[in-house]
Each structure stands twice: as C-alpha cells, then as structure tokens.
C-alpha cells in the first residue's frame, strides 16, 4: 500500500503542477476544484496497476462508485467555472496574498494532490475481493447520497435561474430543511466508502477520508466561506434563514419542531392547559384578520402585511403584498363560509406561533359540506407593526386531496392499507 501510494503521489504531483501552471496563466484558480475531482479518474486506473495482488469484484465496484462521483462533480464544476469564472473564495485569497498568491496556490495544489492519495485509502485496503453485505450497504448509501446531492444542486440551479430578487434565499425542496444539503450528501458519499470497507482487515482506515472531508466541508473550505459570502451579499434574509433552518443535517424547520411538540406532547395535555394570549395586541390582530378576511375585503390586508412581506404555505410561496392579495383572492373566491378557532399562542417579542382549527365550506370540496382543518401559523411583525413573514402549516391531504371526488376514495384505500400493516 505504501509503495503504490508513493508512486501515485509522484504522478499526481506532476499533474497538479501542470494544472497550477495553467491556472496561473489564465488567472483562474477555481480550476483546482475541477482538477481535484477529475484526478480520481486518473488515480483509480493507476492504483489498479500499482496495487499488488489480484483485483476482485469489490475493487471494481468501488472504483465504479468513485468514478461516478468524480464524473458528476467534475462535470458540474467545469460547467460552473466556464459560466462564472473565478470563485469568490479564490479572489479573496489573491487580494490577501497579493504578489505571493501564486506561491500560495502552488502549495495548495500540492496539498490537494496529497489529499487525493489519502482519499483513495478505501480502495487500497480492500482485502476480500468478494462483494458482501457491507459492500451492498455501502453502495445503497452511496446511491442515495449522490442522488440527494444531484437533487440539491438541481434545485439550487433552478432557483438561481428563476430568482428576481438578489436578496432572496433558496428554500426550494431540500434547502427548506438544510442550509447546505449538497454538502451534507457529499459527506455521506465519503461515509458510504467507509461502510463499504468496514469488514476488511484494516477496515477502520476506510473512515479516514470521511473524517477528513467532514472536517474540511464543515469547518474549512465548504460551509464557513459559503455562510460568510451569503451574509455579505444578503445579510437580512440570510440571517432569518439561519434562524429557522438547520445548518448541515437536514431536519424540519424549527417552527415545525415547535408545532410537533405542541400537537403531540402528552396526548394534547399541553394544548388543553394553554391558551391564546389576548392581552397581546399583535395576537388579537392576527385572530381578527384571520376571521374577518373574505374575497371582497382584501383591502384589510394593507394594514396587516408589509409591502415586502413573504407568505409561505404548503401550496406555494408568495412575495410582496400584491402577490399575497392575489393568492387570497383566488383562494377565497369559492368560499361560502370560513372561521378560525385559536387554541394556543406562543410569542417571543414580535414573533408568534398560533395554533388554530379552521372550519371551511367551499364549493367543489366535499360537496360543499364543512371541512375541519387543524394547522398553525408562524407570523413575524416588523418594526412598523406589519407582518414581514407569514408561514402556515397544515396537511394538504386533509385540506384538499381527501375531499376531491375520486381522489378521496383512493387516499382512503391507501390509508386503510397502511393502518392494516
């Protein structure tokens, strides 16, 4: 293993030196990211030649996994560099190191070459050529992780393409549950390699690449500069995003966690012992607007929402007051009657979480019969006393799908089958 690693390091040293020279000539050092990810496509066949002994099925399967990761990441990076040019992180390094930046980057290129050798440890320690349980498990984790990373990148790319406000933060799909879902799945890819080799003679060494990548992504090259850049470009909206969304591990927003606690704690005993704080004027205002609003009096929203408000619910996202009013107009046009009963309110300064039960009659839903929907709303007032953020939480199936003829019958069958199991 040591001999093959040294030969691989020597070859990569030459390749990365050439890569540095090219980057220095074109003054775009973002190519280091592409070179690092693409270099595994060179390292793998070299190791296949250098590793002593006979290669087996488990070697080739792991080589296929790493190659797929390398192809995906390197193609993604070359496209990004071609479109955007130099990375802002590397621009900052140039300004910091001034005339010495070329030397700094050369050292960085050499370190990256050495890192490639270390990250190929899982392939080098395989001692059993057969594919067994842990190899299949590692493959499964790998496929789920690379799929999650592709999805996260796709959602971010679509958001950036559609975005009209440069201060807007991506909250599409996976980005609602983690501020960096792409980085999370990237670390899970390296974790899958450790699982893949866990039953080998020196299997514990297979987790070294995972530990290194986890540290680099969460503490050095990944999340810290990304967070810093976002705070510089859109400080207010990103700070709000930080407050409600987990940094790394995908999980429900903090508001959803509060909702879950309220709704299921002690089988509702908390709900029974709590109440709406009607001594708070903002809580009273929320309760009144919810119950007074109809399709023909949308003007009351002018004194409730800020012009730059953001409204989110399971049906979609609406920015600015005019968009919110249009949404309510379409939503309420078939409403025959609607009222809200509020059972709980939790307030912190000008942020309120309201637990409610809605009673609705609307043509086209459940034959015009009354629908009862449980839900909650997170509402934030700004310094002007207007709502700057409003998010509703409720079950879309309970609200709409279960009350559409035909579809309701299908959903009831699925639910009964799940209950039976």
The CATH number covering residue 402 comes to 3.10.450.50
Whether 42 is in a domain gets the answer: yes
Is 148 part of a structural domain of the chain? yes
Q: Residue 85's pLDDT band (boundaries 50, 70, 90)?
A: confident
Domain check: are 245 and 280 in the same one? no
Domain boundary among 217, 251, 285: 251
Establish if 262 belongs to a structural domain: no
Q: How far apart are CA 302 and CA 99, in angstroms?
A: 56
Which of 42-46, 145-149, 254-258, 283-287 is predicted with the least confidence, judged by mean pLDDT?
A: 254-258
- Chain-centroid distance of CA 362 in Å reads 36
pLDDT at position 261: 53
Q: How much is the pLDDT for 416?
A: 54
196 and 305, same domain (yes or no): no
103 and 235 both lie in a single domain = yes
Residue 357's SS3 state is: strand
32 and 132 belong to one structural domain? yes
Domain membership flag for residue 118: yes
Count: domains in the chain: 2
Q: Taking residues 64-72, what's their average pLDDT? A: 96
Residues 243 and 304 in one domain: no
Q: For residue 262, is pLDDT > 80?
A: no
pLDDT, tens digit, for every residue of 120-179? Answer: 999 999 988 899 999 999 999 999 999 999 999 999 989 988 888 888 999 888 998 899
- 418: pLDDT strictly greater than 70: no
Asked whether residue 258 is assigned to any structural domain, the reply reads no
Mean pLDDT in residue range 410-416? 50
Same domain, 289 and 214: no
333 has pLDDT over 70? yes
Condensed to tens digits (0 to 9), the pLDDT of residues 376-401 reads 999 999 999 999 999 998 876 555 44
What's the pLDDT score for residue 97?
85
- Does 409 map to a domain? yes
Whether residue 338 is found in the same domain as residue 222: no
Please determine, for residue 375, whether its predicted confidence score (pLDDT) is greater than 60: yes
The band of 92, judged by pLDDT with boundaries at 50, 70 and 90, is confident
- Please give the pLDDT value at position 370: 86
pLDDT of residue 380: 94
Q: According to the model, what pLDDT value does residue 52 have?
A: 73
Interval 215-219 mean pLDDT: 93
* 13 touches 133 (CB < 8 A): no
113, 242: one domain: yes
Among 251, 281, 301, the domain boundary falls at 251
Predicted pLDDT of residue 176: 86
Residues 55 and 116 in one domain: yes
Angle between helix axes 254-264 and 235-244 (nearest 10 degrees) is 30
The answer as to whether 225 is a domain residue is yes
- Clarify whether residues 220 and 296 are in a common domain: no
Q: Which of 251, 285, 316 is the last residue of a domain?
A: 251
Mean per-residue pLDDT of the chain: 86
Given this model, what pLDDT does residue 273 score? 44
* Residue ranges in 163-280 assigned as alpha helix (H): 181-196, 208-215, 223-233, 235-244, 254-264, 269-273
Task: Output the pLDDT for position 259.
Answer: 54
In sequence order, the β-bridge partners of residue 87 are none
Residue 271: band (very low, low, confident or very high) from pLDDT cuts 50, 70, 90 = very low
Q: What distance in Å separates the CA atoms of residue 267 and residue 248, rounded to the nearest whole number?
A: 31
Residue ranges making up the domain that contains 81? 2-251
Give the confidence band of 83 by pLDDT, cuts at 50, 70, 90.
confident
Same domain, 302 and 157: no
Residues 307 and 226 occupy one common structural domain: no
Taking phi first (over 0 means left), then psi (-120 to 50 degrees means alpha), and beta for anything else, what does residue 166 get?
alpha
Residue 168 lies in a domain: yes
Question: For 314-324, what is the mean pLDDT?
Answer: 87
């Amino acid at each position: 293993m040591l001999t093959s690693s040294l030969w691989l390091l020597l070859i990569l040293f030459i390749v990365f030196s050439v890569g540095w020279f090219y980057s220095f000539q074109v003054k775009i050092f973002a190519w280091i990211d592409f070179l690092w990810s693409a270099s595994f496509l060179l390292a793998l066949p070299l190791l296949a030649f250098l590793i002593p002994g006979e290669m087996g099925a488990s070697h080739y399967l792991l080589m296929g996994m790493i190659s797929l990761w390398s192809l995906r990441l390197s193609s993604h990076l070359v496209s990004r560099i071609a479109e955007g040019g130099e990375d802002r992180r590397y621009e900052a390094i140039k300004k910091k190191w001034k005339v010495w930046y070329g030397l700094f980057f050369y050292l960085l290129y050499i370190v990256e070459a050495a890192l490639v050798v270390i990250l190929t440890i899982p392939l080098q320690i395989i001692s059993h050529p057969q594919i067994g349980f842990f190899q299949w498990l590692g493959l499964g984790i790998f496929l789920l992780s690379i799929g999650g990373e592709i999805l996260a990148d796709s959602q971010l790319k679509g958001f950036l393409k559609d975005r009209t406000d440069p201060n807007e933060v991506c909250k599409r799909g996976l980005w609602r549950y983690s501020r960096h879902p792409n980085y999370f799945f990237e670390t899970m890819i390296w974790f899958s390699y450790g699982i893949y080799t866990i039953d080998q003679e020196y299997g514990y060494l297979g987790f070294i690449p995972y530990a290194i990548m986890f540290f680099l992504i969460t503490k050095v090259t990944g999340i810290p500069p990304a967070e810093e850049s976002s705070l510089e470009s859109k400080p207010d909206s990103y700070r709000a995003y930080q407050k409600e969304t987990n940094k790394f591990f995908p999980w429900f927003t903090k508001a959803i966690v509060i909702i879950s606690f309220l709704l299921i704690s002690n089988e509702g005993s908390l709900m029974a012992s709590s109440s709406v704080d009607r001594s708070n004027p903002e809580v009273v205002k929320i309760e009144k607007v919810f119950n007074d609003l109809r399709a023909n009096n949308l003007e009351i929203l002018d004194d409730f929402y800020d012009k730059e408000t953001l409204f989110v619910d399971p049906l979609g996202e609406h920015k600015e007051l005019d968009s919110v009013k249009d949404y309510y107009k379409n939503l309420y046009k078939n409403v025959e009657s609607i009222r809200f009963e509020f059972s709980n309110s939790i307030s912190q300064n000008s942020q309120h979480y309201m637990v409610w039960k809605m009673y609705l009659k609307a043509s086209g839903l459940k034959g015009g019969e009354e629908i009862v929907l449980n839900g909650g709303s997170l509402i934030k007032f700004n310094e002007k006393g207007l709502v700057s953020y409003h998010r509703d939480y409720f079950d879309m199936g309970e609200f709409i799908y279960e009350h559409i003829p035909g579809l309701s019958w299908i959903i009831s069958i699925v639910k009964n089958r799940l209950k039976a199991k």
